[in-house]
Amino acid sequence: MKKLVLLLVVLVFGIIVGGCSNSIDSLIGGDKNANVFTDQGLANKIMDDLKNRPELKGHDLKAMDDIYLMYHKETGMTGRIDVQKPGTTDQVVRYDYKDGKWSDPKPLELIGPGKLEENLGDLNSIDFNKVTDIYKVAEKKLRALKAVK
C-alpha cells in the first residue's frame, strides 16, 4: 500500500505542477530535457543513481512518505526524497535532484509524536518504471475533464 501511495504522490505532484503552469503541454512539450512522466525508465534510472551513491550503496533503503519527481520545461527534472540514514534508527537525510544529479545528504530534524518506522517504506519495493504508465492514464483523464468544460 505504501508503494502505491508513494507513486500516487509522485503523479499528483506532477499534475499539480502542470496545473500551476496552466497547461499539460508545459509538462510534456517544448523542451528537450528528459521527463520522468514521458521517458520510460528515466524515473528508475534517477532512483538507481541515488541508490548507487557511496553512502547508500548496498543498504536496504527506507524512504519517508513523500517522494517528489517533477518536470517543468523551464527548469527540467527536479526531485526530493527523504531517507532513513543507513545504520541508524532515528535519523533521516534529504536528497535533492537537480541538473541531472543528486545533492549531498542534508540531515533533517524529526519532530512530533509519531514513530519513524511507521512513516517509512521500502524503496526497493517501488517499481519506478510504472511512473510513465500512471501518468499516461492521469493525462488521458485530465484531458477528458478539460474537454467537458
**Cell numbers given for 89:** 534508527
Q: Give every CB contact of residue 117 below 8 A, 6+ residues apart in sequence.
A: 89
Q: What is the pLDDT of residues 19-46, one digit of tens each?
A: 444 333 334 333 346 888 889 899 999 9
Query: Maximum CA pair distance of the chain?
Result: 52
123 or 33, which is more confident? 123
Residue 23 has a pLDDT of 39
pLDDT digits (tens, 9 = 90+) for 43-68: 999 999 999 999 999 999 999 988 99
pLDDT at 146: 83
**3-class SS of residue 44:** helix
Q: What is the pLDDT of residue 57?
A: 96
Q: Is the pLDDT of residue 1 over 80?
A: no
Of 8-12, 78-82, 108-112, the poorest mean pLDDT is in: 8-12
Mean pLDDT computed over every residue of the chain: 81
C-alpha pair distances (Å), 109 with each of 27, 51, 146:
33, 22, 41
Q: Which three three-digit cell numbers place residue 108? A: 533533517
Beta-carbon contacts of residue 142 (< 8 Å; ≥ 6 apart): 15, 18, 24
The predicted pLDDT at position 147 comes to 80
* pLDDT value at residue 27: 40
Q: Which residue in 98, 93, 99, 89 sits closest to 81, CA to CA?
A: 93
Cα 7 from Cα 68, distance rounded (Å): 9
Question: Which is higher by pLDDT, 16 or 46?
Answer: 46
126: pLDDT confidence band, cut at 50, 70 and 90? Answer: very high
d(CA 39, CA 47): 14
Inform me whether the pLDDT recorded for 142 exceeds 60. yes
32 or 72, which is more confident? 72
